Amino acid sequence: MDGPDELTFSLDVTRINITEGRNQTIACLTDCYVCNYKWTGPVSSSSKDLVLTGIKRNQEGNYRCEATNIKNTISKTRSKFIQVNVHYQPEITSMTSDAVTDEGDEGSDVMFNCNVNSKPVSTITWSSSTSTDTNIGQKWTLTQAKCQDTGIYTCTANNGIGQSTSKLPLNIRCKSIFSQYTIIYTCTTFNGIGQSTTKLPLNSRCSPRINADLKDVVMNRIGEEVTLLIDVKAYPKPSFKWIQESTRQELTPDTTQQVAINNYISSLTFTIQQSSFDNYIVTVNNGIGCDKSYTIKIIDGDPITKADPNEQPGYQEVLGTGIGIGIGISAVIVILVLLTIFIYRKYHPANKKLPNESYATFSNRNPEDRTYEDLNTRPEVNDNNQHNSGDAKEYENMRRN
């Protein structure tokens, strides 16, 4: 009958986190037999149970449970506090850039800012339809913007309870925006004192045609955001119509971007669901010629990245085979060259050994003392005939007498 001596909560904590919209009951427990209970705070209650139904953000705060024994002659009171925090998913309150009317000049920096209201604090991620890169932080700067950076920029906030996204278009004004379908005509007047020049662009009308390689197969997973994109040249400005093939449902594309005078990009961004794995047909028309239709297919799988050709299967084997063949051919060529040189040196006429030539010999004797043999310049030729000749011997005897 004396209590309350102790006061506790059914949740043995002094702080509790509750997700917005959920129900929560907190009971005030004492050892007193008959007590009056009173809850005070953003929500009041006269029972021992504090019932929070579909809790809202404005119901966050400190709650106090007070228990009083009314049977005692002198009332006895015990009280205790509990902190109630209400968590809620992110809400992007604003997404801005310092690009005036969402346009920036080529080479300039563009700063983006994303303001988020959430509890707990969210992680903010930046992405774009023109790149697979992502950046983290409330603020992000696109440095040295290029014409190719024209696209849709997305701020995504996630705090573990939920996520929110917001998109913002950005158009980069290129320094030179004339295409092959635009000709500049110049009129120059000159009268000897000075000159004046006026230029006038002339656009040639042309039906839509693909400006860059069309990525006709896109691979990604359920729950991931994907952007389908088509880049065309056309004059005048074309219209784009996107349809999902299986349902024949017309889809609303992102804002069409004019990259150059005659260059347009249309994109379709959405989060992949099971039914999203399909063919998507985009039809382009500008009143010149027939409609042009192109198909892009989404398939389930991890995003495709460009493979290093050096790492492709069989590359090393093919490379090794090629090197081996090259070495073999080189060896055969060297052998043939050496064989040719050998044959040339052996059989060429200039290299054959000629017979020994005999040359005339001269004596320092007086002409009167010279014999017939001394007149012979090639003693080895007809040697027997000359030395055995009788006429020669007779001639020699006459000279001596």
Express each pLDDT in 352-374 by its tens digit.
554 454 444 444 444 445 444 44
Q: Is residue 318 one of the residues assigned to a domain?
A: no
For the ranges 154-158, 220-224, 323-327, the one whose mean pLDDT is highest: 154-158
**Pair 214, 274 in one domain:** yes
143 and 83 within one domain: no
Q: What is the pLDDT of residue 219?
A: 92
- The domain boundary, picked from 306, 338, 353, lies at 306
pLDDT at residue 66 greater than cutoff 60: yes
User: What's the whole-number mean pLDDT along residues 176-205?
Assistant: 68
Q: Is residue 59 part of a domain?
A: yes
> What tens digit of pLDDT does each residue of 213-243 get?
888 999 999 999 999 999 998 888 899 999 9
Same domain for 19 and 66, yes or no, is yes
Model confidence at 11: pLDDT above 70: yes
**Residue 88: per-residue pLDDT:** 97
108: confidence class by pLDDT, cuts 50, 70, 90: very high
Q: What is the CATH number of the domain that holds 46?
A: 2.60.40.10
Q: For residues 287 and 236, what is the distance between their CA atoms, to the nearest angstrom?
A: 8
- Does residue 358 fall inside a structural domain? no
Whether residues 215 and 288 fall in one domain? yes
What is the per-residue pLDDT for 270? Answer: 93
Q: What pLDDT, on the 0 to 100 scale, is given for residue 359? A: 43
Residues 302, 214 share a domain:
yes
Residues 26 and 77 occupy one common structural domain: yes
Domain assignment present for 248: yes
Domain-located, residue 66: yes
Q: Are residues 169 and 236 in the same domain?
A: no
Least confident range of 31-40, 94-103, 322-331: 322-331
Residue 76 shares a structural domain with residue 12 = yes
76 & 131 share domain = no
Last-in-domain residue among 88, 107, 129: 88
Does residue 41 lie in a domain region? yes
In a domain, 344, yes or no: no
Kindly state whether residue 276 falls inside one of the protein's structural domains: yes
At residue 178, the pLDDT reads 47
pTM of this prediction exceeds 0.75: no
Helix (H) or strand (E) segment spanning residue 339: helix 315-347
Mean pLDDT value across the chain:
81
User: Would you state the pLDDT for residue 192?
Assistant: 72
Domain carrying residue 287: 206-306
pLDDT at 5 over 90: no
Number of domains present in the structure of the chain = 4
316 versus 383: the higher-pLDDT residue is 316
Looking at the structure, do residues 242 and 286 belong to the same domain, yes or no? yes
Whether residues 279 and 244 share a domain: the answer is: yes
- Per-residue pLDDT at 307 exceeds 70: no
Q: If you average pLDDT over residues 6-30, what whole number do you get? A: 92
pLDDT-based confidence at residue 80 (cuts at 50, 70, 90): very high
CB 86 within 8 A of CB 56: yes
What 8-state DSSP symbol labels residue 45? B
Does 104 lie in the same domain as 84? Answer: no
Which of residues 148, 173, 198 is at a domain's end? Answer: 173
